Chain A
Amino acid sequence: MTDSILLETAERLFGDTITPQVLAAAEHGDFPRAAWDALAEAGLHLGLLPEEAGGFGVAPADALALLRVAGRHALPLPLAETMLASWLLAAAGIAMPEGPLTVTAAPGLVLSRDGAKWHLAGTAMGVAWGGDAAGVVVLAEVDGAPHVALVPGGYTIAEHRNIAREPRNTLVFDTVPDAAAPSPHSALDLRAAGAATRALMIAGALERITAMTTQYALDRTQFGRPIGRFQAVQHSLATLAAQTAAALAAGDIAAEAVGEGVDLLAIAAAKSRAAEAAGVGAGLAHQIHGAIGFTYEHSLHYFTKRLHAWRDEYGGEPEWNERLGRHLAAAGADALWPTLTAI
């Protein structure tokens, strides 16, 4: 499958399966199983895997671009998490199980080995779709070295949701993983790869709300003409479009920064820029939509709430800006330009 066919397939599939009804039901705890089954049948969640393991043989950046499409549809499924899980499992040489997966590197988890037997204990909060996933891929240190463990069950699940009412569960482990192995990826690598997924999802959601808001400004009439004819509204929409353009560039940078390793600086720049655009963009979309955009009935909130959730998940602007800023400062004033152009 080529990258453009992959994206067109995803666009069509999500367009067909993710309706406002599905989004509303997901907010109230209904996992959209049919949508997942369609996604899994197309194999979209396997894009980061090598071809022999079920992937499409596309570059990681092209597979990750699926998440921009997911953002465009506010996809209420753990596509990003399953892709991250597949990336960790493949690198650790552990076979990928069926079904949706999720990931965590929560600091409270203790992975230990007694002879040939592995054991995982502790609590992980904020695990995306932790109650719906067929298994959890845990990244934890063993004797100071990162390890990946696949845990298909045997943990307790407490309900919790983010601002967009996406499941972000608390899981309590005292269990034996199915498999565990050393990982080339650290917890920081996973955080960065996760941040890359959110930058792409933000880009997609901003694309969508720019389109929705433009259409609304053309349709809504006040003072005898569409509000999009007013210069003040046009300039707000232009600003929204500019933020979206910046987020799209950030998403592309993020996608290219994940491969066998991760480029922390590129992801730092991408996540912080996308996160900033998310806040400004969500505000402008609401301003132009007026009161109707503030209702539950209108679909705008599915996107703007996710923008607010995703801008903080895997680190918001302060965290990534500080990381990038410290690097630039350490490199020094005269190396600023070469450092930026190398990102």
Chain B
Amino acid sequence: MSALTFPPPPVSLEAEALRAEVRAFLATELADFPAERRMESWSGFDAAFSRKLGQRGWIGLTFPTEYGGHGRTALERYVVIEELLAAGAPVVGHWIADRQSGPSILRFGSEAQKRFFIPRIVAGECFFCIGMSEPNSGSDLASVRTRATKVEGGWHINGTKLWTSQAHLSHYMILFCRSSGTPEDRQNGTSQFLVDLKTTKGLSIRPVNALTGEHHFNEIVFQDAFVPDEALLGEEGQGWHQVTSELAYERSGPERFLSSFILLVETLRVLGAHPSERAAIAIGRLGAHLVTLRRLSRSVAGMLQAGENPATQAALVKDLGAVLEQEIPDIARSLVAVDPPTPEIARFARVLDYTTQHAPSFSLRGGTREILRGIIARGLGLR
């Protein structure tokens, strides 16, 4: 498969029927949800909302029914998550569990782990965070120093994880760390563990506030934190292989080009039904980008459904998506003057300010622009 192969996205009538259902639910559920909350996109947290989605059967859509999942297609899941994102629904609680922790547990976990975690994730009651980055291991993930040492009945974890989004609101972390050898061994000797953030002793979670003053990130320090043998996910020493297989899921979804979508909606609201020629051209261009990105992203969803590993295609989607998400605030401010303010403009400006401040993170989280372009270059045969 060439790096630039994007098969037509599968067509699914079931998925379109589901779309209508999700839209109707959101129209009611979020009727009074203001733009100032919608703009948070998939950083917005609401445990009760996550539980409601679980009750509707919209979390763990693709997970097998024997573990409490819904056994539906990747395309149906795609429709649900893009509708949630487009509405600015507060989804971060269950987002990571639904997107990658659940699939990893299903792929690599023991029968007992599947029976324990999957039904809880599906119910929207078990939230996960990603324990990958460290103070000195950001893009260079293979250099992790956090270490699991074998002890009687389990493992002692020592080290520090950083930039862990929503750890303070999550029940579990999938921890990626070294379980043998030294950091010089790179990818070899790494493992993944399911760490209970609520009950594990020797673990502390400290907020690292973002530039807006908000608390999303955390630093997590492990000091002889004990996790039992049953916490090992998959095989000891196979951590790198396991963690990289999550990445196509992490990188190709609609959250990679819809982070600024609420700002585009609010821009259009201020511009009204008869914008200037310049504004119409700018809005049309953003629409054209969204339409094409959506096709690419749905094509990757189809490849994932077919069991392929479209790592290069996922990187292409995320790279293009982040560029677009970061352009939107700049274009919005070029079309709508925020000075002098009016009540309507002030509302728009709050969404603009929020998105402007968060925009730098769009090409950092989930793989920096530089890492993604390296992956694309490898896919082209240059590395």
Stretch at the interface among B97-105, B153-161, B218-226, B265-273: B265-273
- Asked if B118 CB lies within 8 Å of chain A CBs, one says no
Bound-complex Cα distance A292 to B93 (A) = 54
Partner of A234, one of B6, B281, B377: B377
Selected contact of B292 from candidates A270, A323, A336, CB within 8 Å = A270
If A272-B284, A328-B283, A329-B268 touch, whether A244 touches B4 (CB-CB below 8 Å) is yes
Determine if A321 is an interface residue (Cβ-Cβ < 8 Å).
yes
**Residue B376 at the A interface, CB < 8 A?**
yes
A101, B290: Cα distance in complex, Å: 36
A209 to chain B, nearest CB (A): 12
Interface residue? B364 (CB, 8 A): no
The CA of A269 and the CA of B6, in the complex, are separated in Å by 18
Tell whether B165 is near chain A: CB-to-CB under 8 Å: no
Per the 8 Å Cβ criterion, residues 226-277 of A in contact with B are 228-229, 231, 234-235, 237-239, 241-242, 244-246, 248-250, 252-253, 266, 268-270, 272-273, 276
Distance in Å: Cβ of A72 to nearest Cβ of chain B? 12
A242, B283: Cβ atoms under 8 Å?
no
The residue in chain A whose Cβ has the minimal distance to the Cβ of B35 is A333
- Is there an interface contact between B284 and A333, defined as CB atoms closer than 8 Å? no
Set of chain B residues within 8 Å of A328, measured between Cβ atoms: 268, 283-284, 287
B86 pairs with A250, CB closer than 8 A: no
A–B complex contacts, Cβ < 8 Å, 7 sampled: A214-B382, A234-B377, A245-B6, A246-B292, A253-B295, A276-B285, A328-B268
The answer to whether B381 and A218 have CB atoms under 8 Å apart is yes
Report how far A241 CA is from B299 CA in the complex, Å.
Answer: 16
CA distance in complex: A296, B288 (Å):
34
Do residues B293 and A246 form an inter-chain contact, with CB atoms below 8 A? Answer: yes
Query: CB of B316 within 8 A of chain A?
Result: yes
A334 → chain B, closest Cβ, in Å? 7
B contact residues around A179 at 8 Å (CB): none
CB contact list, B1-45 vs A, under 8 A = 3-4, 6, 8, 19, 23
Contact of A329 among B23, B275, B291 (CB under 8 A): B275
Size class of the B contact interface (CB-based, 8 Å): 35 or more
B94 interface hit (Cβ, 8 Å): no
- CB-based contact A321/B291 at 8 Å: no
Given contacts A214-B381, A238-B380, A245-B316, contact A273 B291 (CB under 8 A): yes
- Please, how many angstroms separate the alpha-carbon atoms of A234 and B19 in the complex? 40
A residues less than 8 Å from B271 (CB atoms): 329
On chain A, the residues within 8 Å of B320 by CB distance are 242, 245-246
The answer to whether A330 and B273 touch across the interface, beta carbons within 8 angstroms, is: yes
Let me know if B3 and A252 touch, CB within 8 A.
no
Q: C-beta contact mask, A193-225 vs B, less than 8 Å → 1, else 0?
A: 000000000000001001000100110000000
Contact A273 B292 (CB under 8 A): yes
Known: A218-B381, A238-B376, A340-B294. A324 touches B287 (CB 8 A): yes
Q: Check B86 against A235 for contact (C-beta < 8 Å).
A: no
| A320 on the B face (CB < 8 A) | yes
- Whether B284 contacts A324 by the Cβ 8 Å rule is yes
Residues A228 and B285 in contact, CB atoms below 8 Å apart:
no
- CB atoms of B4 and A250 under 8 A apart: no
Contact size range, A = 35 or more
Q: Shortest Cβ distance from A308 into chain B, in angstroms?
A: 19
Contact A269 to B377, CB < 8 A, known contacts A246-B293, A253-B295, A321-B280: no
Cα–Cα distance between A248 and B316 once the two chains are bound (Å): 12
Chain B residue at minimal CB-CB distance from A247: B292
With A252-B8, A337-B86, A340-B294 as given contacts, are A241 and B376 in contact (CB-CB < 8 Å)? yes
The B interface is mostly helix, strand or loop, or mixed, namely helix
Tell me the chain B residues, 105-131 only, with Cβ under 8 Å from chain A. none
Instruction: Among A207, A218, A321, A329, point to the contact of B382 (Cβ < 8 A).
Output: A218
With contact pairs A246-B320, A329-B280 given, residues A241 and B3 touching in the complex (Cβ less than 8 Å): yes
Note all chain B residues with C-beta closer than 8 A to A334: 265, 269
State the 3 A-B residue pairs at the shortest beta-carbon distance, nearest first: A325-B284, A321-B284, A325-B280
* B residues in contact with A246, CB < 8 Å: 289, 292-293, 296, 320
CB-CB under 8 A from A242, the residues of chain B are 316, 319-320, 376
With contacts A244-B4, A332-B273 taken as known, whether A326 is within 8 angstroms of B284 at the C-beta atoms is yes
Q: How many A-B residue pairs have CB under 8 A?
A: 169
15 additional A-B pairs beyond A326-B275, A333-B269, beta carbons within 8 Å, are A235-B373, A245-B320, A268-B288, A269-B287, A320-B284, A322-B280, A322-B281, A325-B275, A328-B287, A329-B268, A329-B273, A329-B275, A329-B280, A336-B264, A337-B265
B39 to chain A, nearest CB (A): 13
Are B284 and A241 closer than 8 Å at their CB atoms?
no
**Known A-B contacts A214-B382, A269-B292, A326-B280; A238 and B377 likewise in contact (beta carbons under 8 Å):** yes
A253 near B292 with CB under 8 A, answer: yes
B279 adjacent to A207 (CB under 8 Å) = no
The answer to whether B275 and A340 touch across the interface, beta carbons within 8 angstroms, is no
B236 CB-CB contact with A under 8 Å: no
A318 at the interface (CB under 8 A from B): yes
Q: Quick one: closest B residue to A235, CB to CB?
A: B373
Is the C-beta of A42 less than 8 angstroms from some C-beta in chain B? no
A142 at the interface (CB under 8 A from B): no
> Is B214 among interface residues, defined by CB-CB distance under 8 A?
no
A270 to B370, CA, bound (A): 28
A235 to chain B minimum Cβ distance, whole angstroms, is: 4
* Chain A residues, CB < 8 A from B372: 238
The answer to whether A248 touches B4 (Cβ under 8 A) is yes
A251, chain B: closest CB distance, angstroms: 10
Question: Is there contact, CB below 8 Å, between A234 and B382?
Answer: yes
Nearest chain A CB to B12 CB, angstrom units: 13
Q: How many angstroms from the CA of A228 to the CA of B380 in the assembled complex?
A: 10
Contact in complex: A333, B299 (CB < 8 Å): no
Q: Does A13 contact B (CB under 8 A)?
A: no
Please report the C-alpha to C-alpha distance between residue A234 and residue B315 in the assembled complex, in whole angstroms. Answer: 14
User: Across the interface, do B373 and A234 meet the contact criterion of CB distance under 8 Å?
Assistant: yes
A242 to B314, CA, bound (A): 11
